[in-house]
Amino acid sequence: MGFWTFLISMMPVGELRFSIPFGIFAGLHWAEAFIYSFIGNALITFILLFLISYYRIENIQKLLNKIPYIGVIFRKWHNSALKKSLRFNKWTYTNLALFVSIPLPVTGAWTAVLISSLLTLKPIKAFLYISIGLIVSGSIITLISYNFIYLMEYIFINKEDVENFINSIS
């Protein structure tokens, strides 16, 4: 399951927000799920930062726009990241880490990579700050995922109701 957790964390949809709960509910220890997810997400971040830095975002955009479906997806992702980056007058590396540390949809490493390339931030420094954000976000997700059963017991009070709820969603 560690390999699948690692691979899922590299995907642009979900990232740590999906791979950590997947790993924990698939039977991995919470620390293993966190480590596999972090390494996978950090690795793809590193690769993307340097690929985009080497090939330039404009060239990549031209290439992807030629591919019918992928071009549309990339444009939507690009526009979303551009809107998010315009909300702040001056993006700093700390803002990038804070952005990634919020475990919500479209606030992950992939979007942070795009934002850092749009703002021409230095790849190594951006990678370090994105990694800090991944650690914070991953810790929050791990805490929530690991304590999910206890949270459900608190809400439902009855352990049998919790087991029925978990069985109904799986």
Alpha-carbon distance of 114 to 123, in angstroms, equals 11
Alpha-carbon distance of 11 to 78, in angstroms, equals 17
Please tell me the predicted confidence (pLDDT) of residue 92: 82
Per-residue pLDDT of the chain (170 residues; tens, 9 = 90+): 889 999 999 998 888 999 999 999 888 999 999 999 999 999 999 999 998 888 877 777 777 778 777 778 777 777 777 776 666 556 688 989 999 999 988 888 998 998 888 788 899 999 999 999 999 999 999 999 988 877 766 776 666 776 777 778 76
CB atoms within 10 A of CB 162: 19
